[in-house]
Amino acid sequence: MSALSAHILEEIRELPAKYPQPRSAVMPALDLAQEELGHLTPEAMSEVAAALELDAGYVEGVATFYTLFHLAPVGKHHFYVCTNLSCALRGSAEIVDHLKKSIGVTEPDEVSKDGMFSYEEVECLGACEFAPMMRLDHRFHYDLTPEKIDTLISEKRGLLPASGEVAAKPPEGRPAPPRKPRTPRKKKAPDA
């Protein structure tokens, strides 16, 4: 029995025709697979490779490079907090500490007891002007504060109406934030 449903595999097979380079279909294909399963299993990655007629090692390489793809279960809502230089200078460490306390985890990718939340630290998301910033699921949030984090958690728990934030309104004299910041990339492990 296949890991992915027939209709998802069909959608994946149709993707290469939409790109000048058929290999470019690998990220949207992995995205579809992850959306269906919650995370990418080895079987799902093999099926994506077969459906796109790509080498399985290449597909796995893409899945392991981008933090957007999860190889193990994560929370229903996943925070990708940028902790690169600009965000670090503007307090991303405090944001991460506050987030960990608020969702009750101690490690990246640990899932909160209620299964709702997890987080990880990622490389620059291309919106340094609005540091500290992060991606939560498919939305981007800028100029983070502990209060903003708590509001978002309450929204996801259904305790507050969802406001969402794709592109923050730029304060006076600041440019608009990027509409499509970079895909999250994994933080490199510090040198031993």
**Which of 32, 111, 128, 153 forms a contact with ligand FES (CB under 6 A)?**
128
Give the x/- contact pattern for ligand FES in 55-94, rule: CB under 6 A.
---------------------------x-xxxx-------
* Nearest of 149, 141, 32, 42 to residue 99 by alpha carbon: 149
Instruction: Tell me if 124 contacts ligand FES by CB under 6 A.
Output: yes
Q: How many CB atoms lie within 10 A of CB 136?
A: 21
Instruction: Tell me if 127 contacts ligand FES by CB under 6 A.
Output: yes
Interaction with ligand FES in 133-192: which residues (CB under 6 A)?
133
Q: Which is nearer to ligand FES, 126 or 146 (CB)?
A: 126
CB of 133 to ligand FES, least distance (A): 5
The CA-based dihedral angle spanning residues 33, 161, 102, 148, taken in that order and rounded to the nearest 10 degrees: 100
Return the HEC string of 109-142. Answer: CCCCCCCCEEEEEECCCCCHHHCCCEEECCEEEC
Instruction: Tell me if 96 contacts ligand FES by CB under 6 A.
Output: no
Q: How many CB atoms lie within 10 A of CB 116?
A: 15
Indicate the SS3 state at residue 82. strand
CB of 76 to ligand FES, least distance (A): 24
The first and second tokens of residue 51, run together, are 């459906």
Instruction: Tell me if 122 contacts ligand FES by CB under 6 A.
Output: no
CB of 86 to ligand FES, least distance (A): 4
Give the x/- contact pattern for ligand FES in 28-57, rule: CB under 6 A.
------------------------------
**Separation of alpha carbons 75 and 156, rounded Å:** 12
Q: Which residues bind ligand FES (CB under 6 A)?
A: 82, 84-87, 124-128, 131, 133
